[in-house]
Structure 1
Amino acid sequence: MTAHIAVVGASLAGLRTAEQLRAAGHTGPVTVLGDERHLPYNRPPLSKDLLSSPGDLSPGELHAKVEFRRRASVADVTFRLGLPVVVADVRGGRLWLEDGTAVAFDGLVAATGLRPRRLPLPGPLTGRHVLRTLDDCVALRGGLRPGARVVVIGAGFIGCEVAATALRLGCRVTVVEPGGAPMLRVLGARLAEAVQRHHEAAGVRFVIGRTVARFLGDGHVTGVRLDDGSALVADAVVEAVGSVPNTEWLAGNDFLDLNDGVLCDNRLLARGAELLVAVGDIARFPNPLLDTVPRRVEHWSVPTDTARRAAATLTALLAGTEPDPAPFRPLPSFWSDQSDLRFQSFGSPALADEIRLEEGDPDRLAAGLLATYHRRSVPVGTVAINLPPARQRELREAFGTLSPAP
């Protein structure tokens, strides 16, 4: 097959898609286009090991620690890095890069992922950080010196990971979260409150129920003003307030639904398109493992799972054959390391209407805990904390037989 496939996005999803295109039998040219200058690398260490690595390591040395090893099958794949795609004519088969260069394609893969949401508030920009890329990590890492006052806005998983890392580096850390206890939407109230107590016992301060009204300082952030008029002094501020799908480059293709990522069918084929598939956390698709509602899933396992399905779909369509009709039922999974706690989750706990504590004591999280999550009495997820690997494998296997709720 000589058709040219363009993969827009050069992170894990883009790399895995290139590999899976070759595994599916596509022998034609593949070009992976990315806005970062770095070859694909592993993002989870950015908020943990890489963020706490020695300060004398250069960005290149840091990248070497997390760069993905590329399989021999993609040795002939072209990586064009450092220039984002800004416009796509999906039906016309052309892309335009930021420098005006045009790239023609026969099949297209959307793998552009997410960018951190920023708070649209007054105040200086210098000293405000987000954490999504290697360059973000390098910028933040320079400010996490012993004694530094760090304010983390947002108590989701990234916010809590950054807070735990900064505390370990000797910083004084305050987390501001308007919506309740840490990771409340995923964990549920009882477990989220237990996690908050655990972090507080280690030395993290939480300000719950307050929002940030503005950033303080002249040229460089010196603190944040909260909505009740109080202020928090800060040498560095980290905004961990969610993410936005990178779909602007697809704007103008009005047949696509870009309301929340790229709406796809269960084959990962974009609704309204003939030869566009989406992978990773911008793909919004129905998963019959859970129900028929199309959703984006921002878990680390999703790029690999969706790349396999999307590559098979696109390869079949370019060859003029029908894609595999078998239901695509990936099991979402994620983990999070926060101080002495390791979280492991399977399924989608946020969909639950009931949470059951199966093992452990919320007041002794480090000793191990298991909670199961149910919707209309059907299990939809688990969260394990500090359970041994063998027990986690059992939980994963149990979800292989999960049936969707009626």
Structure 2
Amino acid sequence: MSTILNAFLDENLQELRDQGLYNEIEPVEGPNGPIIKIKGSDLINLSSNNYLGLATDEDLKKLNIAAVNKYGVGAGAVRTINGTLDIHIELEKKLAEFKGTEAAISFQSGFNCNMAAISAVMNKNDAILSDELNHASIIDGCRLSGAKIIRVKHQDMDDLRAKAKEATESGLYGKVMYITDGVFSMDGDIANLPGAVKVAKEFDLITYVDDAHGSGVTGKGKGTVKHFGLEKEIDMQMGTLSKAVGVVGGYVAGTQKLIDWLKVRSRPFLFSTAVPPGDVAAIMGALDKISASTELHDKLWENGDYLKAGLKKLGFNIGNSETPITPCIIGEEKLTQQFSKRLAEEGVYAKSIVFPTVPKGTGRVRNMPTAAHTKEMLDDALKIYEKVGKELGVIQ
């Protein structure tokens, strides 16, 4: 190895460890359900994005296997050569119907969606108004576009209006986009889309909503745009197929013209092999389940409200979450890491989230209850939270 590279890695890895910022990856031994096994121990799982429990659903497993038997394990090419199977077209029609738009395009991941769609529409002559707490994939997608990035104070419509006015009236930019998460994954709050749409109409902004944590969760499962009834007002809806949907991939939904453009200009679509057919079949099955019944959605919210109330009663700082996402904000990074470690030792897996994912001094253990959890599991988790919280002085 290069001596310069070796020195760089030694110094910086040790610095992360000293600051409590080094993330240890702990493999899950088996399925990622409400109970997981790590290092031979069964733990109550409060760190999964598998909101509706569909990642381990038996019906979806059967659909996946059947599609593998019919199509094989891979698509065999990029979408623009001969990797577009008839099942991909069926999925995109179903996604458009699910999101209430004219059309949709599927990608290999949610991260890929933001890298693809933002840079396909925006360029160095444009400007992007971006909420300051937007996900890393939005930030990277904005950077890749080359557009001027203008940070907007979190959920502050007055600041959005002032910066939209300045950007559009400056004459410096060809197009101006406002981009926001639908549900903010670290705090669990929901974007003020009605306020944003009002500003966007006034200044003719392109509107883009990353609904990775809203699809399947808000709007009775149809997402945050549906929650507010704004399907005809938001230009670009992005979502993942790996969280509430339980499989893998992502999509962008919008007008037919937008999707036609993304199919010829979004680089991950052009240069990456398509989503495997087994996964596509499982995704469609998941969308059918979410559309047919709100049972899983309702159970998710019931469990989220139950856990949130229990943690708040114990005295934990859970922020201002409006969704099942429930952070326990600890603050100092090393204490946050220690808190998460002690939870695991007692039987709860709730991963610590520290800088750079969240600002320094706001370290937290983020809880993600799912529709698959039972009340008994959540009660056991609350007892462990109480024990560890008092032991470490986080609560009285």
Regarding TM over 0.5, the answer is: no
TM-score, length basis structure 1: 0.30
TM-score, length basis structure 2: 0.31
- Name the one with the larger helix percent: 2
